[in-house]
Amino acid sequence: MIHLHDIRYVRLGTANLQDAVRYATQVLGLEIARKEGKAVYLRSDNRDHTLCYFEGDPRDHSVAFDVDTPEELDHALASLTGGGYTARRGTADEIEQRYVRDLVVFTDPSGNRIELVLDPHHSGRRYFPSRDAGITGFSHIGLRTLDPRRDEAFWTQLLSAKVSDRIGQAPLLRIDEIHHKLALFPSAFPGVQHINHQVESVDDVMRAYYMLRELGIPIRFGPGRHPTSGAIFLYFEGPDGMIYEYSTGVRRITAEDEKTYRPRSFPVALSSFCMWGSKPDIPEFKT
């Protein structure tokens, strides 16, 4: 099994880099780490970067997870290629662009591009937000899947993810104590479905709600509370139709909890996504 240590960053192509960066700083509240050529790196915590926007196809997405040792990265490449999956070592340019020591790139069964990185850089200075959004860090993503049962098996049997809960066939997957770092939502095409940042408190969620309304930015879901993770949330639209989420109070499943915890199955119903009654304007949450 390939052990995933943590989620690391997301890379997104965009048709308008200037507008995307303006949104990421002025609305989302991220800090610019650096600008290099046709890419801008953004921070939300003590990592070197957690989001990179680059000039390119808005459908061009990749998500990175880090592994702990060179041996684990070698094992990952051998396991993926041995299992018939498309995987390769990163090029020197790719490694330099991602600020990591080494890199493996592969495609999951639905066609999502995933990167496994070794020794990703941390920043030597603390995260200083471009606005007081209350962000404490990049936490998880929603990923589209063409076949949730098949992809759940891929992430849990070949990789080290564990199912925390399911909504219909959509699994919420953890790789550490956090309830989920990855959620797989049925769709007709691959790609990142939403990007989550944790904020300090409910106050930050509500401040964002009123600010976004004033700015005329579409709110796609919430404020509400997930019955699965217990998190209080707000989803809103970003550049190129990407959905961003703020949430706070996410459940942890500790090593002690693991002894007795069993994944719960929720029906595909509005009450499975929000226990307060908020209704989503997000396609994958409606079907």
- List of residues 6+ apart from 255 with CB closer than 8 A: 177
Residue 46: pLDDT above 90? Answer: yes
CA dihedral sign, ordered 111, 2, 95, 28: positive
Spell out the CATH class of 6-118: alpha beta
Instruction: Please state the rounded mean pLDDT for residues 46-66.
Output: 98
Determine the Cα angle at 62 with ends 139 and 95, to 5°: 100
Question: For residue 61, with 0-12 CB atoms within 10 Å meaning exposed, 13-18 middle and 19 or more buried, which class applies?
Answer: buried
* Superfamily of domain 135-286 in the CATH hierarchy: 2,3-Dihydroxybiphenyl 1,2-Dioxygenase, domain 1 (3.10.180.10)
How high is the pLDDT of residue 286? 84
Task: Say if 6-118 and 135-286 have the same CATH topology.
Answer: yes
Q: Cα(23)–Cα(17) distance, rounded to whole angstroms?
A: 10
Give the pLDDT confidence of 3-29 residue by residue, as tens digits. 999 999 999 999 999 999 999 999 999
Q: Respond yes or no on whether the N-terminal peptide bond of residue 223 is cis (omega within 30° of 0).
A: yes
Strands across the sheet with 162-167, in order? 219-225, 232-237, 243-248, 192-199, 135-145, 182-186, 170-174, 162-167, 264-266
Percent of all residues in the chain with a pLDDT value above 90, rounded to a whole number: 99
Binned at pLDDT 50, 70 and 90, residue 287 comes out as low
Give the pLDDT confidence of 176-211 residue by residue, as tens digits. 999 999 999 999 999 999 999 999 999 999 999 999
Domain borders along the chain are 6-118, 135-286
Residue 146: pLDDT above 70? Answer: yes
